[in-house]
């Protein structure tokens, strides 16, 4: 790169990534192949529209690319060819937020209710939270976790759904460590006539690798980002059923009729992604999604995704053993929450203390948090990135002690920093 300033920033960021332990649950390291596709000539091309229906000429290879990525996405997530035929996938969303917005805009009338996990219980901003545009256009009906078990209480979800009659029910979030029972959630959606959407952004890679249940049997729509456990570029996918939305029995109960009822769910969504919300798709990113999808369709990735969960369990268990409170008592996935406030350390302080020694996490609210979201009571810890580096349970146990010693300041900062650098060196990630 000729640009000296930019080159230096890239170099510095590369050193930072190499020399710190990344425990941010939503981050990962992409392969050289994914980065190569991102930097490919496809970045030069405008391709507004869809395959063979573009607004510009010169899209012969773009069309082939988009179709290839669609078929890879469908094949990876829906194993049975007969089931696959019932689904379409849109590979154009720039990221998770526009993907979710497109689904709502396509399927549910403005003003109707989206029932989703509350943000401070582990949900996501774009599931109708008040500061997001999704919370301004639609009304969020939140559900949470049980105060005692800190897990979803499906009877409680049903009770809220029956009372509120949402038009859309969402499963998935950004800080819920446990397996979600999609079958039960679909039953709840059916009981009140709601569309059932799963946002699998966090655990998509685990679904692809067989380390987490698949939502496809039960959902009408599945959205996902591609850059978390799936280890692709920063973008998103929307999987949608080809059935007509007017066929959804849901609509009988709702005072809000679903939009575009003559179209299939997938057609309605495609129309909103483009031209409704977005302009030209980022074809270089779509190429990179394609690379990530083919990488995820390998035995190596299946082993990786299972190791992500094993590592997460090992790290949570060891932290628990040495006296830290893990929300819900453990994890079934790539992440978990630690209540640091219990030891008098806020989430913000914890995150700063850890960054000071080279461990990167994010502060996070815990269920029924009494602190403000800007400085909540806990941290979120995730293992996708460290697993990509090749670390296993043994390293997780060591890291648990490094985390604990840093937070409690029971070891000299310098000693911990040296240990972390050594560990990073042993598991290099970026050449």
**26 lines the binding site for ligand DSN (CB under 6 A):** yes
| Shortest separation between residue 202's beta carbon and ligand DSN, angstroms | 6
- Minimum distance from residue 96 beta carbon to ligand DSN (Å): 5
Task: State which H helix or E strand residue 259 sits in.
Answer: none
| Helix (H) or strand (E) segment spanning residue 404 | helix 393-408
Residue number with CB closer to ligand DSN (278 or 362): 362
Q: Is 422 left (phi over 0), alpha (psi -120 to 50) or beta?
A: alpha
Q: How far is the CB of 94 from ligand DSN (least distance, A)?
A: 13
- The binding track of 225-254 with respect to ligand DSN, each residue x by CB under 6 A or -, is ------------------------------
Of 174 and 223, the one with the shorter C-beta distance to ligand DSN is 174
User: Where does residue 140 rank: exposed (0-12), middle (13-18), buried (19+ CB within 10 A)?
Assistant: buried
Nearer to ligand DSN, 96 or 232 (CB): 96
d(CA 396, CA 312): 8
# residues near ligand DSN by CB under 6 A: 4
Which C-beta is closer to ligand DSN: that of 96 or that of 233? 96
For residues 389-408, which are near ligand DSN according to CB under 6 A? none
Minimum distance, C-beta of residue 111 to ligand DSN, in the bound complex (Å): 25
Q: Angle 341-347-352 (CA atoms, 0-180°, nearest 5)?
A: 125
Out of 49, 93, 96, 378, name the contact with ligand DSN by CB under 6 A. Answer: 96
Instruction: Report if residue 167 touches ligand DSN, rule: CB under 6 A.
Output: no
**Distances in whole angstroms, Cα of residue 124 to Cα of each of 110, 208, 264, 387:** 19, 21, 27, 24
State how far the Cα of 293 lies from the Cα of 14, in Å rounded to an integer.
24
Q: How far is the CB of 247 from ligand DSN (least distance, A)?
A: 32
Instruction: Answer yes or no whether residue 311 interacts with ligand DSN by CB under 6 A.
Output: no
Q: Considering the complex, state which of residue 161 and residue 366 has its C-beta at the smaller distance from ligand DSN.
A: 366
The pairing of strands 335-339 and 378-382 is antiparallel
Binding mask 114-133 for ligand DSN (x = CB under 6 A): ----------x---------
The nearer residue to ligand DSN, 26 or 92, going by C-beta atoms, is 26
Query: Kindly report the CA angle at 112 between 198 and 86, in degrees rounded to 5?
Result: 35
* End-to-end Cα distance, the chain: 17
Phi-psi region of 172 (alpha: psi -120 to 50; beta: other; left: phi over 0): left
Work out whether 174 is an interface residue with ligand DSN (CB under 6 A). Answer: yes
Indicate the Cα dihedral angle 26, 344, 151, 384, nearest 10°.
20
Q: Which residues are catalytic?
A: 46, 48, 199, 225, 228, 234
What does the alpha-carbon distance between residue 114 and residue 133 come to, in Å, rounded to a whole number?
A: 13
Least distance in Å: CB of 124 to ligand DSN?
A: 6
Residues lying near ligand DSN in the complex (CB under 6 A) are found at 26, 96, 124, 174
């Amino acid at each position: 790169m000729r640009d000296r300033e930019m080159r230096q920033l890239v170099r510095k960021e590369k050193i930072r990534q190499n020399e710190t332990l990344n425990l941010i649950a939503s981050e990962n390291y992409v392969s050289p192949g994914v980065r190569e596709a991102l930097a490919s000539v496809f970045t030069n091309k405008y391709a507004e529209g869809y395959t063979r229906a573009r607004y510009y000429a010169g899209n012969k290879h773009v069309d082939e690319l988009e179709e290839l990525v669609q078929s890879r996405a469908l094949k990876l997530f829906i194993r049975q060819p007969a089931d696959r035929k019932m689904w379409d996938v849109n590979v154009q969303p720039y990221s998770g937020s526009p993907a979710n917005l497109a689904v709502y805009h396509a399927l549910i009338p403005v003003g109707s209710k989206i029932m989703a996990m509350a943000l401070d219980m582990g949900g996501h901003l774009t599931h109708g939270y008040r500061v997001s545009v999704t919370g301004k256009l639609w009304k969020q009906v939140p559900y949470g976790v049980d105060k005692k078990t800190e897990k979803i209480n499906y009877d409680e979800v049903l009770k809220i759904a029956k009372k509120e009659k949402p038009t859309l029910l969402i499963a998935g979030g950004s800080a819920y460590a446990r397996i979600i029972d999609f079958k039960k959630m679909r039953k709840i959606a059916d009981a009140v006539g709601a569309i059932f959407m799963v946002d699998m952004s966090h655990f998509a890679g685990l679904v692809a690798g067989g380390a987490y249940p698949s939502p496809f049997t039960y959902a009408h729509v599945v959205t996902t980002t591609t850059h978390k456990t799936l280890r692709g570029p920063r973008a998103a996918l929307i999987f949608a059923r080809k059935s007509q939305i007017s066929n959804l029995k849901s609509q009988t109960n709702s005072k809000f009729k679903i939009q575009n009822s003559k179209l299939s769910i997938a057609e309605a969504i495609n129309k909103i992604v483009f031209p409704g919300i977005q302009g030209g798709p980022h074809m270089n990113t779509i190429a990179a999604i394609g690379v990530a999808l083919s990488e995820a369709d390998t035995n190596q990735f299946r082993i990786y995704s299972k190791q992500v969960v094993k590592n997460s369990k090992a790290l949570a268990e060891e932290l628990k053993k040495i006296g830290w409170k893990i929300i819900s008592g453990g994890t079934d996935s790539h992440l978990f929450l630690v209540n640091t406030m219990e030891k008098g350390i806020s989430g913000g302080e914890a995150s700063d203390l850890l960054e000071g020694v080279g461990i990167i996490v994010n502060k996070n609210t815990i269920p029924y948090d009494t602190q403000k979201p800007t400085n909540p009571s806990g941290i979120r810890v995730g293992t996708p990135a460290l697993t990509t580096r090749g670390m296993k349970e043994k390293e997780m146990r060591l890291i648990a002690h490094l985390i604990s010693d840093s937070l409690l300041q029971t070891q000299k900062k310098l000693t911990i920093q040296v240990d972390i650098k050594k560990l990073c060196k042993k598991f290099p990630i970026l050449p």
